[in-house]
């Protein structure tokens, strides 16, 4: 990134996390153009000085660095490809940074098409949920060329505190799959522990305060267990999106011919919650699936 001249930045996807991530980099841009499928979600950023536009094409025509963080791989495809997509309207030299958790193969496709247009790209999924997005403490897992990564690093440093180039295009997405596999395992552990504690008559707050200081300590225990104890299932990260991520990881595992039985089990429990119309809840609602299995209130 040119240190003497502030870039024009585009941002597509201003939801629970994207809004705050964009908020952190506003001071580093001369102008910021924002777009979202539900345009009302751009209003907080517009109030801070961003300019709302209606389509990815308009963003591509204005900005030299464009960030995207949308829901599913099909959403990424709609944003980047097609007659109104970013790549069709990109200016030579544009840097695309897709922070959606999506398929490694899609990250590679974007990288190849961007290069053919004289552009650059980075895949940079994140971890840390809504809390990390608000506080600027996300973990950012990047894939792409070192030179492109170096240009974007000052912007990443406003959004996260753990930032690492993992390798060439697609490597960021593969790293995020590893991250989601770990989260699936820790979430089932946290929710099973809280279920056990409730049945045993333990005080949940005391339990969490105690075991979080030992070998069981983890982000999910610190940040999501307190929400479970308050019956707060508002999404920092939605079940629907997590099921999408687990599906990608299992699909990649199948291609690599490796078995991930723990992940497959947790995916089935979350799918059951989707079947109960709870897909818009936060991932901590996994405890509700266990409650159903154990007939607990």
What is the structure's pLDDT at 4? 62
pLDDT surpassing 80 at residue 297: no
- Looking at the fold, whether 64 and 124 belong to one and the same domain comes out as yes
Q: Note down the domain range covering 86.
A: 8-168
Domain annotation covers residue 1: no
Q: Quote the CA–CA distance of 115 and 111 in Å, as a whole number.
A: 6
Q: How many domains does the chain have?
A: 2
- 132 and 254 share a domain? no
Is residue 37 exposed (0-12), middle (13-18) or buried (19+ Cβ within 10 Å)? Answer: middle
Cβ-proximal residues to 34 (8 Å cutoff; 6+ apart), any chain:
10, 11, 12, 14, 22, 42, 45, 46, 50, 51, 52, 53
- Same domain? For 13 and 68 the reply is yes
Q: Look up the pTM and report it.
A: 0.90
156, 21: one domain? yes
- Quick check: 53 and 35 in contact, CB under 8 A? yes
Residue 82 and residue 151 share a domain: yes
CATH number at residue 264: 1.10.1040.10
Among residues 168, 199, 229, which one ends one of the domains?
Answer: 168
Rounded to whole angstroms, the Cα distance separating 47 from 93 reads 29
For residue 3, being part of any structural domain is answered with: no
Give the residue numbers marked as catalytic: 176
Q: How far, in whole angstroms, is CA 25 from its chain's centroid? A: 17
pLDDT at 16 > cutoff 90: no
Q: Residues 183-212: what's their mean pLDDT?
A: 97
pLDDT at position 11 is 98
CATH of the domain at 35: 3.40.50.720
Do residue 276 and residue 188 come from a single domain? yes
pLDDT, one tens digit per residue, over 75-131 is: 999 999 988 999 999 999 999 999 999 999 999 999 999 999 999 999 999 998 888
Both 113 and 186 in a single domain?
no
Listed residues 152, 168, 184: the one ending a domain: 168
Q: Decide: helix, strand or coil at residue 117.
A: coil
Domain end point (choices 127, 145, 168): 168
Give the integer Cα–Cα distance in Å for 155 and 149: 10
Question: Do both 228 and 162 map to the same domain?
Answer: no
pLDDT of residue 130: 85
d(CA 234, CA 227) in angstroms, rounded, equals: 9
Q: For residues 259-272, give the mean pLDDT.
A: 98
% of the chain residues with pLDDT over 90: 92
Report the pLDDT averaged over residues 178-206: 97
Same domain (yes/no): 207, 268? yes
pLDDT digits (tens, 9 = 90+) for 204-261: 999 999 999 999 999 999 999 999 999 999 998 899 999 999 999 999 999 999 999 9
What integer best gives the mean pLDDT of the chain?
95
């Amino acid at each position: 990134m040119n240190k003497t001249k502030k870039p024009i930045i585009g941002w597509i996807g201003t939801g629970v996390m994207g809004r705050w991530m964009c908020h952190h980099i506003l001071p580093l841009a001369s102008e910021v153009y924002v777009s979202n499928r539900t345009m009302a979600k751009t209003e907080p950023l517009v109030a801070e000085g961003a300019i709302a536009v209606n389509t990815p094409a308009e963003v591509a025509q204005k900005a030299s660095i464009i960030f995207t963080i949308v829901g599913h791989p099909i959403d990424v495809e709609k944003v980047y490809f097609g007659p109104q997509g970013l790549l069709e309207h990109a200016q030579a030299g544009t840097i695309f940074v897709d922070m959606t958790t999506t398929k490694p193969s899609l990250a590679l496709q974007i990288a190849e098409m961007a290069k053919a247009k004289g552009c650059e790209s980075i895949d940079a999924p994140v971890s840390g949920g809504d809390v990390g997005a608000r506080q600027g403490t996300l973990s950012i897992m990047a894939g792409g060329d070192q030179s492109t990564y170096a240009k974007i690093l000052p912007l990443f440093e406003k959004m996260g505190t753990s930032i690492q180039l993992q390798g060439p295009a697609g490597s960021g997405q593969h790293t995020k799959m590893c991250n989601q596999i770990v989260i699936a395992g820790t979430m089932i552990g946290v929710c099973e522990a809280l279920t056990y504690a409730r049945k045993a008559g333990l005080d949940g707050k005391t339990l969490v305060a105690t075991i979080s200081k030992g070998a069981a300590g983890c982000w999910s225990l610190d940040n999501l267990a307190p929400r479970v104890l308050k019956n707060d299932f508002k999404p920092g990260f939605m079940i629907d999106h997590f099921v999408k991520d687990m599906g990608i990881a299992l699909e990649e595992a199948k291609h690599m011919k490796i078995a991930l039985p723990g992940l497959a089990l947790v995916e089935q429990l979350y799918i059951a919650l989707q079947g109960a119309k709870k897909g818009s809840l936060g991932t901590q609602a996994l405890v509700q699936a266990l409650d159903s299995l154990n007939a607990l209130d």
